[in-house]
Structure 1
């Protein structure tokens, strides 16, 4: 639900931008483009700061308490918007929401991973992005149908409901074991697994968690992470996969969607002509479908194959968009439905693989001791990258043109395919020992040794 709230906050500007900048603005005076620009980007300035604070808090005070605290600034942000529509108040409110959302993004994947069974860990991990896309769709629909203040009251209810529901939910078993609460851990696991807490399967899982805790006590320690050569390799793999998600260009595509739809609507060969809000609703619906597909396929197809396929699809979609913009710039035009299909395909690939799977991989490539540190560092870097992209996208287009920009995005997506094939290990239903063996090349060497031995025999 904190990520759902983040999705609503991210999408809130789109259906309300015209109102806030118009003559009937709820603000004292209409907002300027500069005001809106700061509203859009301020969340990504404060979110990385929150990532470090909540990362430390999650290890020191528990995942549940950190998540409870994440909802408070989000709640305050919507309250500020209800009290005042002055530009400074709106920007401050966005900063508060960004701070809480940054905490949600670092703690939610940890909480979900630590309460999930291995067999459904991938599916539950994709709920992070699924919740974000649901939030986008919710706010686009509400903004299209309801008055300004009514939307704010509804969005205010989301973090409030989350806070009271989470009070009734348990702390993660891994953290309870860390606190020495073995009996409570068994009860929590029994509730999560729908088994009696005295069941042998529960006892075995508790024993496994105790062994894990004995060998690694969690704390935020970059020094500890970079002292382990194999963990450093895993960190760089995870970071590159996550940064590729940011640089694949799908955020930029969403920002530029209005122009694509408008240009497509001018083509006499197509009857597509949608209002900006309807465009946003269409794209959010495509995202929802993609996120749902990810939930269904991630534990069947595996992380690596699904991420590879979606990178290929997104890469060719970006390339097609670049071709369309280039032909437009030289006075030639492809049919109006081409960019719309390419756009929707790109967003679908993003939601079904490129966005959710890096979060899953991030939590599966590290032990309990390092998981919080890695999540904190990677989320801070990723959110900072989002801020840079939002600020630099327009100047980049003015410098090299939209077609070149989309070709750059296409190249990044397709290059990611080769990186995934040769450097990223599969993490589905595998323990850390096997994953790290792949990273170190031990598995390949062992196969070669087996072949040599067979030949010798």
Structure 2
């Protein structure tokens, strides 16, 4: 049976996606572990800032706090490029397993460290893991996922990270500072044990001429049962398609300047970098890092700041879960726009509350308002811009520069993260919390206007279809049609 609209046999026959879900869930164990690393800081800050700090160098001052909060973004840049290089030689699977090493080093440093510099180095390894995940996990997911569930599977990554953050908030609030690393060090170990049994992607094996291993991998990820000839023919057709792409990929690996400096490519790169910055302007990562500190600063007295941060993390998980259910139904652009306008509303509401408190109004009876505002911002951002930023970046980049574009976008993301986390505690003291929130809210409004005018809807289109549309745009603008070869790294089945 052939799909009359698409003319594609493979997608009709190979719809057993159970192994794809299973593999992505296992792969995201490393993201849960990274969430533990990220979430460790917020409940630990009151201890590190107090006179009873376990650090021999004394309580952290404001300048030290800004470095501890932001230096993980510098580590992320190192993790992005080093893991990207590893992926080229050993594939996504082995590169992801390697990422457990910086996670283990982090927990060891937290346990044995007794100075400010131990904490600083540990936070660098937090970023190293995160940067590596940004490089490898999206490629692994795109390699094995069918187009009709690619957005949903891609949204598992922020969901897993948020679950890890929640775990760190709960454990950090309940147990001693030195007990936390003893608990969470087992998450990356569990990931290695489980993930090691999964096969590498078919694309990885084909690029290395390992035809038998590639076929076995394809059978696993497509849930091939071999029950009838039609299913076997569909698998053979898909395998031949992947081999053809791999052959063309080897024959045309060099990127020419014209592949980058054309209207379609530049547009995709700009979208990727802007979306990376917008994920930071929602303030979600600032809140995850400085949650307890922010609630204390704004004067939340009747609600325990630790409890408030835990509630916030639960809302973040719920928002991420919603995206996994609706990202392939409502459309990318609609969700991103709703997310940005909603975040702007919540941030401006928080800014107004903080300003009224700053000028002397008695808000003690309304100290639930900032908790509600931040929970709303985190929910709406987690249900839109944050999980979809990478998905939209992939779907707006021409295939030939897709890996390069993701690297540039990731660099922009980490630079934005470093800037926001470094400046936030300093600006909070200089211009006040209310001004910081207002700046973020205005940034979200401007970002929403950019998305509305520049970004197109890509839901439901295969990456090969995106390339064809990119080629048409290029031909219209320059009078010639470039050859864009769908890369093996990010091109799942046609829809």
TM range (shorter): 0.7 to 0.9
Which position in structure 2 is the counterpart of 1:41? 70
* Aligned pair partner of 1:211 in 244, 266, 286: 244
Range that drifts further, 84-93 or 46-55:
84-93
CA RMSD of aligned residues (A): 2.8
Residue number among 185, 200, 213 corresponding to 2:233 in the alignment: 200
CA distance in 1 between counterparts of 2:70 and 2:256 reads 27
Alpha-carbon shift at residue 175 of structure 1 (Å): 1.9
Match of 2:209 in 1: 180
2:177 aligned partner: 148
What is the CA distance between 1:418 and its match in structure 2?
Answer: 2.6
SS at match of 2:357: helix
Per the alignment, residue 385 of structure 1 pairs with 416
Structure 1 residue 36: deviation in Å? 4.0
Change (3 A) 1:253 1:225: farther
Kindly indicate whether residue 383 of structure 2 is the aligned counterpart of residue 349 of structure 1.
no
String of CA shifts for 1:203-257, please: whole Å, max 9, x gaps: 2322332233333349696968525542222111122122211223333445366
Q: CA 1:200–1:230 in structure 2 vs 1: closer, same or farther (change >3 Å)?
A: same
Inter-CA distance 373–442: structure 2 relative to 1 (3 Å threshold): closer
Q: Does 1:250 align with 2:279?
A: no
**How big is each residue's C-alpha offset from its partner over 1:294-336, in whole Å with a ceiling of 9 and x where there is no partner?**
1111111121111111112111112222222333344446744
Task: Tell whether 2:43 aligns with 1:15.
Answer: yes
**Deviations 1:379-414, CA, capped at 9 Å, x for gaps:** 122112211111222343455543333233222222
Cα contact 2:54–2:114 (8 A) shared by 1:
yes
Q: Return closer, same or farther for 1:372/1:154 CA change in 2, 3 Å cut-off.
A: farther
Is 1:340 equivalent to 2:363 in the alignment? no
Higher alpha-carbon deviation: 20-29 or 121-130: 20-29
* CA distance in structure 2 between the partners assigned to 1:414 and 1:118 by the alignment: 31
Change (3 A) 1:439 1:404: farther
Question: CA separation of 1:441/1:214 partners in 2, compared to 1, >3 Å: closer, same or farther?
Answer: closer
Change (3 A) 1:222 1:94: farther
| Deviation of the 1:424 alpha carbon | 0.9
Alpha-carbon distance in structure 2 between the residues aligned to 1:294 and 1:126: 7
Query: CA–CA distance in 2 between the matches of 1:257 and 1:353?
Result: 24
Question: Equivalents in 2 of 1:366, 1:339: separation in Å?
Answer: 38
Answer whether contact 2:51 2:59 (CA < 8 A) is retained.
no
Secondary structure of 1:214's counterpart equals helix
Which of 118, 127, 130 does residue 156 from structure 2 map onto?
A: 127
What is the rounded CA distance, in whole Å, between the counterparts of 1:212 and 1:387 in structure 2? 38
- The answer (yes or no) to whether the contact 2:295–2:305 under 8 Å persists in 1 is no
1:311 correspondence with 2:340: yes
| Structure 1 residues 316 and 333: alpha-carbon distance in aligned structure 2, compared to 1, 3 A threshold | farther
Mean CA deviation greater in 164-173 or 329-338: 329-338
1:370 to 377, 398, 401: 401
Change (3 A) 1:371 1:2: farther
Pairwise CA distance, 1:104: 1.6
Q: Which residue does 1:161 correspond to in 2?
A: 190
Match of 2:109 in 1: 80
The answer to whether the 8 Å contact 1:264/1:337 transfers is no
SS in 1 for 2:421: helix
Distance 1:333 1:409, change over 3 A: farther
Question: Once the 2 structures are TM-superposed, how far is the Cα of residue 151 of structure 1 from its aligned partner?
Answer: 1.5
Q: Which has the higher helix share?
A: 1
Task: Indicate conservation of the 8 Å contact 1:219/1:372, yes or no.
Answer: no
SS of equivalent to 2:323: helix
Structure 2 CA distance for partners of 1:331 and 1:88, relative to 1, 3 Å: closer
Give the direction of change, closer, same or farther, for the CA distance of 1:25–1:357 in structure 2 (3 Å limit). Answer: same
Distance between the aligned counterparts of 1:83 and 1:394, measured in 2? 27
Q: How far 1:369 moved relative to its partner?
A: 4.5
Instruction: Specify every segment of 5 or more residues in structure 1 that has no aligned partner in the other structure, as ranges.
Output: 267-272, 446-457
Unaligned runs of 5+ in 2: 1-28, 477-495
Is the 2:166–2:310 contact (alpha carbons within 8 Å) kept by the matching residues of 1? yes
